[in-house]
């Protein structure tokens, strides 16, 4: 296992998973995890982003049967996010070249909007096949008994992408566990933080 927890400095976010686990949840989770597994870009793929689950051990392994992610009472997966973007200058230049070739071939002064859009899509497909994706991964460990989840990343954009994929996969929401949330959970009162007041630690800061 090569989880971030075992490979050096730890950067993480802690969440509470909201909602009860459904009956037979492991079987249901296996089906849903496999349906949200990472799918590689294809040559004809016009997507700029691809996101899905892979195993903890290998970011190129999306064979997600239960034994690959269940460890004791925890569920452990890696979210893989690939981005593949064509530089705008290259895209525009290539489109102009083909537009000029078509106008010269057909003896025309201009092309229609639809023709330009068609050329742009063809160029995107041509260039996308030549662009190597940027691969980013983030691991998480979910304690199913405690309902707590550790996401080994701090960037907000990555965390947002993770939350979206997690909620689609498991039909459960997550809430950040910061001090007020921990206090509310301990007291069983969502409004317990309302009575908490800030404290100043520098002389004269309160003025």
Percent of the chain with pLDDT over 90: 65
Q: For residue 128, give both structure tokens.
A: 């996308």
H or E segment and range at residue 6: none
10-27: per-residue pLDDT in tens? Answer: 678 999 999 999 899 999
pLDDT at residue 100, as a whole number: 93
pLDDT at 66: 96
The strand ranges marked E within 31-88 are 49-54, 70-71, 74-83
pLDDT at 206 (0 to 100): 53
Domain ranges of the chain: 4-84+132-188, 88-128
pLDDT of 52 above 90: yes
Q: For residue 183, is pLDDT > 90?
A: no
CB 143 within 8 A of CB 15: no
pLDDT tens-digit profile of 24-48?
999 999 999 999 999 999 877 888 8
Please state, in angstroms and rounded to a whole number, the distance separating the CA atoms of residues 67 and 59.
Answer: 16
Statement: the pTM of the whole predicted model exceeds 0.85: no
128-168 pLDDT per residue, tens: 888 889 999 999 999 999 999 999 988 899 999 999 999 99
């Amino acid at each position: 296992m090569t989880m971030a927890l075992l490979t050096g400095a730890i950067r993480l976010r802690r969440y509470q998973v909201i909602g009860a686990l459904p009956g037979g949840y492991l079987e249901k989770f296996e089906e849903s995890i496999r349906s949200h597994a990472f799918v590689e870009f294809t040559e004809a793929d016009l997507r700029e982003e691809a996101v899905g689950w892979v195993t903890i051990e290998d970011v190129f392994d999306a064979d997600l049967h239960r034994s690959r992610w269940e460890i004791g009472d925890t569920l452990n997966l890696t979210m893989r996010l690939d981005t593949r973007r064509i530089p705008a200058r290259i895209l525009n230049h290539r489109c102009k070249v083909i537009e000029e070739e078509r106008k010269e071939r057909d003896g025309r002064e201009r092309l229609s909007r639809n023709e330009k859009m068609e050329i742009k899509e063809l160029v995107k497909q041509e260039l996308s096949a030549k662009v190597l994706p940027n691969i980013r991964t983030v691991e998480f460990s979910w304690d199913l008994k405690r309902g707590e989840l550790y996401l080994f990343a701090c960037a907000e954009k990555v965390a947002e992408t993770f939350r979206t994929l997690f909620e689609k996969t498991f039909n459960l929401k997550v809430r950040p566990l910061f001090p007020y949330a921990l206090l509310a959970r301990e007291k069983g009162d969502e409004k317990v933080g309302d009575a908490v007041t800030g404290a100043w630690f520098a002389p004269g800061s309160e003025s």
